[in-house]
Amino acid sequence: MSDYEHKFQAAMRELEQTNIWRSNYSPPALRLQRRLGQEARPPHYASFWRTMIGYGFWFGGVWGILMWFAQWRALGYSMTAAVITAAVAGVFFGLMIAGYYAWSRRKHRLSNWDEL
């Protein structure tokens, strides 16, 4: 078993002992990344900035595209305004999610990834 896999399994055992929902510590994005062969950490063990950028990028991108086709195009938004709005939404969403995972990591006194 690789060092990553050993740490991942230890992290899963540690998370299972908390009252955190499984869907929270093993979200679909994590399961997809692992199926694609990436060595992704559970979100509680990722750094604040990696979590913020990862979640913010995907949320801003997907939400921006949906909003463009659902409303903004019909309302006459310029592409620049749409991109800026989606980027700002992504930054705020990323900050909120990263803040939540950092808070939850401290609340449940989870180990550091390197210590697993």
Alpha-carbon distance 116 to 113, whole Å?
A: 5
Alpha-carbon distance 77 to 96, whole Å?
A: 26
End-to-end CA, the chain: 14
Whether the pTM exceeds 0.85: the reply is yes
Alpha-carbon distance 37 to 68, whole Å?
A: 32
Domain boundaries, the chain: 3-115
Asked if residues 40 and 33 have their Cβ atoms less than 8 Å apart, the reply is: yes
Instruction: List the pLDDT tens digit at each of the 116 positions of the chain.
Output: 899 999 999 999 999 999 999 999 999 989 999 999 999 999 999 999 999 999 999 999 999 999 999 999 999 999 999 999 999 999 999 999 999 999 999 999 999 999 99
